[in-house]
């Protein structure tokens, strides 16, 4: 009902509705826990000691309060052995998906339910709380503070929220969240003919910082560079999120906006942060979690993480499915300080193109998959062989209405790619693996 009212309301009233929602988020996230965590991070002189203290506390918390971990860790001591972490059980995404209700600490009815599509498109549901969200937001704000960006500054965020109704005729592809002084830009309308309006609004708003989907920020940057546009503002820093940031993308965004771009990595379910410092180096954010690395080959290692901001759905020794490339191979008994990250890999860097020049990203398709199938879609894979053809392959639970899922998915994909695009949806038993043993969510075969 609220969505119907929003879609049929004047833009001015939509801005009010966005701001009301923003006020609710502000109340939920900027709690006393936020300010306590921010102060602790600012005052921290020894991140290794803080990490060790938090790891010990986190272990005790989950062993005592999580039904799942109470059983898994029953034969282990009440004190964690940080020098022998490999003895403790790993948590995979599939186990998290299957056992989330046993893993959760607290009454799910009183918690905040969230979800993510994941790198294979699997629907992953989990729970969080105001406590965890507040601390996570505090760390993000602390990260930005180190680059000169503070809460309350004029901020532009470009993302996948559906803030623009389908029947809107006006070239107004943004809404304003007043409590956070935040201009929300739609990532779904970044077509060639619309980009001039985005630039006009940016020049009018004069943001001090930008954040959001990497590919969306890069598309705006490329338009600025290709058309030799001179902006009327200069941001302090830009923070891409949700998608991989290539060196080329970073160079283009920095050149277009004449400011530094600072990379960050985490996960929706609450993995600890890896962020870029002012020298351009990627650093483990030890206050947010514990990092273990399992060698894949050469200098490439798979991440196994423990997230300190996941006291609601605890992630302990979690195989997140992403990998990093290091500058040097690790010694056998490595420490956290030995981990020097060259780049983050494993996040799908593919994207699809539409006939009208728009870009559809991994995040967009993950959201569609989750919306259409929820828990009924186990895995998904999307393939684009030509500009006018999208093939979707789904692995679904037994007994589901395949026709219903197929029709819903086709409708969502046509909304994104246009009626001229041929959409094929097939059902298979398993997503095929690559030679490296991975399953790809998106495959772009365009030449």
Beta-bridge partner residues of 199: none
Mapping DSSP onto H, E and C, the string for 282-296 reads EEECHHHEEEEEEEE
Nearest to 437 by CA among 316, 304, 267, 300: 300
Q: Could you identify the residue written with the tokens 């684009």?
A: 384
Which residues lie across from 82 on neighbouring strands? none
Q: Do the Cβ atoms of 380 and 121 come closer than 8 Å?
A: yes
pLDDT score recorded for residue 436: 40
Q: What residue has token string 């997140």?
A: 320
Give the alpha-carbon dihedral of 266, 268, 270, 272, to 10 degrees: 0
Tens of pLDDT, residue by residue over 279-323, are 999 999 999 999 999 987 788 888 999 999 999 999 999 998 888
Q: Which 3 state secondary structure label does DSSP give 69?
A: helix
Quick one: pLDDT at residue 351?
A: 67
Judged against a pLDDT cut of 60, whether residue 368 lies above it is answered with yes
- In whole angstroms, what separates CA 59 from the centre of its chain? 25
CATH 3.90.79 matches 2-29+148-261: no
Decide: helix, strand or coil at residue 27: helix
Axis-axis angle for helices 402-417, 362-373 (nearest 10): 150
The architecture of the domain spanning 32-137+267-345 is 3-Layer(aba) Sandwich (3.40)
Residue 4 has pLDDT above 90, yes or no: no
* Strands 155-159 and 209-213, bridge-based pairing: parallel
pLDDT at 59: 98
b or e along 310-346 (b: 16 or more beta carbons within 10 Å of the residue's beta carbon)?
bbbbbbbbbbbbbbbebeeeeeeeeeeeebebebbeb
Average pLDDT over every residue of 351-356 = 80
- pLDDT tens for 321-343 read 888 889 999 998 899 999 999 88
CATH code matching the domain that covers 351-444, chosen among 1.10.760.10, 3.40.50.800, 3.30.300.30, 3.10.310.10: 3.30.300.30
Domain ranges of the chain: 2-29+148-261, 32-137+267-345, 351-444
Residues 285, 304: contact at Cβ < 8 Å? Answer: no
Give the tens place of pLDDT for each residue, 126-182.
899 999 999 999 999 999 999 999 999 999 999 878 899 888 889 999 999 999 999
Angle between helix axes 11-29 and 130-145 (nearest 10 degrees) is 100
Which pLDDT value is given to residue 437? 40
pTM of the model: 0.79
Q: How do strand 351-353 and strand 359-361 relate by DSSP bridges?
A: antiparallel
391, with CB counted inside 10 A (0-12, 13-18, 19+), is middle
pLDDT at 293: 95
Is the per-residue pLDDT at 358 higher than 80? no
pLDDT at 397: 87
In whole angstroms, what is the distance from residue 258 CA to residue 164 CA? 29
DSSP3 helix / strand / coil % (the chain, rounded to 5): 40, 25, 35
> Can you tell me the distance from the alpha carbon of 395 to that of 426, in angstroms, rounded to the nearest whole number?
9
Alpha helices in 104-246 (DSSP H): 130-145, 195-205, 214-226
Q: What pLDDT is attached to residue 234?
A: 98
pLDDT of residue 118: 52
The answer to whether the beta carbons of residues 270 and 114 sit under 8 Å apart is no
Residue position matching structure tokens 């639970």: 397
Fold equal for 32-137+267-345 and 351-444:
no
> What is the average pLDDT across 360-368?
78
DSSP assignment of 426-447 equals EE-SSPPB-TTS-B-SEEE---
Quick one: tokens of 1? Answer: 């009902």
């Amino acid at each position: 009902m609220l969505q119907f009212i929003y879609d049929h309301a004047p833009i001015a009233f939509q801005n009010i509705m966005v701001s009301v929602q923003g006020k609710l988020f502000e109340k939920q996230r900027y709690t006393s826990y936020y300010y306590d965590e921010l102060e602790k991070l600012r005052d921290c002189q020894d991140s290794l000691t803080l990490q060790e203290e938090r790891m010990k506390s986190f272990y005790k918390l989950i062993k005592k309060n999580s039904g799942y971990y109470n059983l898994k860790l029953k034969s282990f001591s009440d004190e964690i052995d940080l020098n022998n972490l490999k003895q403790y059980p790993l948590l995979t995404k599939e186990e998290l998906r299957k056992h989330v209700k046993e893993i959760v600490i607290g009454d799910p009815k009183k918690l905040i339910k969230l979800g993510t599509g994941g790198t294979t498109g699997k629907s992953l549901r989990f729970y969080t709380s105001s406590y965890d969200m507040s601390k996570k937001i505090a760390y993000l704000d602390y990260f930005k503070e180190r680059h000169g960006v503070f809460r309350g500054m004029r901020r532009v965020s470009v993302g996948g929220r559906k803030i623009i109704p389908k029947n809107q005729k006006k070239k107004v592809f943004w809404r304003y969240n007043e409590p956070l002084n935040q201009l929300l830009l739609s990532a779904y309308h970044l077509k060639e003919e619309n980009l001039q309006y985005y630039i006009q609004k940016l020049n009018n708003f004069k943001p001090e910082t930008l954040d959001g989907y990497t590919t969306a920020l890069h598309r705006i940057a490329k338009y600025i560079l290709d058309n030799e546009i001179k902006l009327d503002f200069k941001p302090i820093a830009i923070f891409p999120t949700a998608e991989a940031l290539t060196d080329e993308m970073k160079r283009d965004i920095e050149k277009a906006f004449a400011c530094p771009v600072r990379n960050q990595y985490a996960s929706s379910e609450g993995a600890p942060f890896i962020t870029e410092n002012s020298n351009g180096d990627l650093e483990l954010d030890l206050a947010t979690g514990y990092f273990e690395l399992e060698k894949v080959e050469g200098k490439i290692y798979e991440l196994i993480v423990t997230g300190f901001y996941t006291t609601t759905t605890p992630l302990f020794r979690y195989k997140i499915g992403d990998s990093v490339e290091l500058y040097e191979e690790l010694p056998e008994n490595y420490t956290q300080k030995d981990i020097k990250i060259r780049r983050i890999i494993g996040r799908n860097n593919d994207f699809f193109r539409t006939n009208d020049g728009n870009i559809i990203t991994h995040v967009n398709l993950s959201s569609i998959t989750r919306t259409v199938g929820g828990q009924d879609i186990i895995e998904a894979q999307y393939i684009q062989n030509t500009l006018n053809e999208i093939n979707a392959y789904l692995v679904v639970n037994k007994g589901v209405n395949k026709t219903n899922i197929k029709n819903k998915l086709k409708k969502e994909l046509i909304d994104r790619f246009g009626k001229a695009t041929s959409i094929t949806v097939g059902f298979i038993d398993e997503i095929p693996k690559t030679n490296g043993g991975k399953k790809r969510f998106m495959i772009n075969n365009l030449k």
